[in-house]
Every structure is written in C-alpha cells, then in structure tokens.
Amino acid sequence: MSFPITIATRESRLALWQAEHVQALLRARGHAVALLGMTTRGDQILDRSLSKVGGKGLFVKELETALEEGRADIAVHSLKDVPMELPPGFALACVMAREDPRDAWVSSAHASLADLPPGAVVGTSSLRRAVLLRALRPDVRIEPLRGNLDTRLRKLDEGQYAGLVLAAAGLKRLGLAGRIRHVFDTDEMLPAAGQGALGIEIRADRADLAQALAPLADAATSLAVAAERAVSRALGGSCSMPLAAHATLQAGRLRLRAAWGEPEGQAPLVTAEAAADVADEAAATALGEQVAAELRARGAH
C-alpha cells in the first residue's frame, strides 16, 4: 500500500542528499514523498565542540519534534549522529546499506598524514579522531573544526588547516571523492559506530511506516551497526567519549573491533575485539556488550 510520506531533514547539502536519496527510493515504490527542511541546534552552534554543548543529539531533536507533532513522518539521519538511546515513543525503523565507513585525509598540499611536518595543524572536532590522530602523529596540532562539509573544505582551502580528517562517505555522496588524498585503513583509524550508514527514525506507533521502510533496510549493515552501537551504549553513549567501534560481517560471522582513548591523550589507546556467529540483532548486541566489557576491563571508562 502506498501513501504520502513527509521526510524531516536538516538543510545542509549532505543531509539533503541523504533525504533525497530516501525520497527517490520511496517514490520508486509508489509513495508520494515531500521534504520538510529544518535547521537544528547542532547546525546553529558552530563556535563550540559538540561534546561541550549537548552532543550529536542536537542534530536530531528538532526533527523528532516534527515527527511528534505530525508535521513529518520520518527523519533520515547519518547513523553516527543518532544517540544510542532514542527518546520514548521513537524507533529506528530502518538501517540502510552502508557507504564507505572509513575516514579520509583531505589536504591541498600533503598527500597523507605521514607527510605533514611537525606542528602542522589538522582540523577535526571529533574526540575519536583526535585520540586516534595523536596515536599516529603525536607531533601535530589538532584544532577544532565545525560547520557543514562545504564550510570545512572552505576553511581548508583558505589555509586555516594543513589537512582535515572527514568521513569518506559524505565526500563520496556529494561527488567530492576527488578531494580525498588518502583513505585511512581501519587498522590505522577505526571508524565511529554507525559511520557511513543511514538510519530512518519514526514514531514507535507508526507500524505502517515500519512496513513501508522494510524493503530499504540492509541486513548486514543492521547487524554490524547493532554491535557497534551496543559498545557505545554500554560505555555511556556520549559524543564526549573518544570511542571507535567497527564491525564487519562475513559468512554469518561478525568481527567487531573497538578502541577508546583519554580525551587529552595522556594514556595509550585501549583496544578490544571479538567475533561470533550472529543471526539476529540480539546476538550482534551481545557481541557489542562483550567487547565493551573487555574495554572496561582494560581501563576504558
């Protein structure tokens, strides 16, 4: 059964690409789909890091209000921006096939992080990326970087930074893969939980929407991100926590790796990994909780 659907979306170029991508898929299935563009608190506060002003949940709260008030039916999110615990009455109805989950090095003058001279300035506001960068290059300066993707690239081009670390998925989705000088292997820089995946949020009482969205879900990605998000949830689920978690599924076996670091880089990285045969999200979540327990046993908090 087809019916009208309104998508709540942030108005950045990447967020609109994501919403329009879902819009096209739903239209192909016979639904009439409109977009409701919105500006969130996360888009408005650009002079402080997210970890200091409420976390990545600032990107989704206004969209959830639109769902709650009936002005929109679904919200499309970068899954790494979605809090680990949704408010009562909301559900993550669909996790779509993942783009490249890795981090990318972007620079005008330097082909890789290794090519930077000591003291060079690298831009990122991700605590995860900061602790991983310090582990790779303790001699470079890491400076905050906020704003949408185009704003970040403009600041790089103006010479404010020697290089940036950005999600490869966003660059590829906007046709900016040519800006990538190097893609970090996951052994170099472990991604954030959910990185590269899109999640669709609905009100928990909208079974009709859950059914309509089911064909857009990707089973392998759903299992992987369930494990990744379980690690983050078990350790507090905050973007003020420098935590990485990445899972891959092969022949029914899920391998999950995670890393945690001190925000100021005063201690070595804590890492953990495990693998298990998984057939459902409950098993994937259990694997994530196992890895989180191992991180805690090794000093993560």
Q: What residues are annotated to the active site?
A: 81
CB 200 within 8 A of CB 264: no
Q: Between β-strands 103-106 and 180-183, what pairing exists: parallel, antiparallel or unpaired?
A: antiparallel
CB 272 within 8 A of CB 298: yes
Mark out the alpha helices in 71-148 (DSSP H runs). Answer: 127-136
CB 276 within 8 A of CB 282: no
Q: Which residue has the tokens 């309104």?
A: 6
In angstroms, the CA 103 to CA 166 distance is: 6
Q: Which residue has the tokens 């404010």?
A: 160
What's the token pair of residue 226?
A: 């369930």
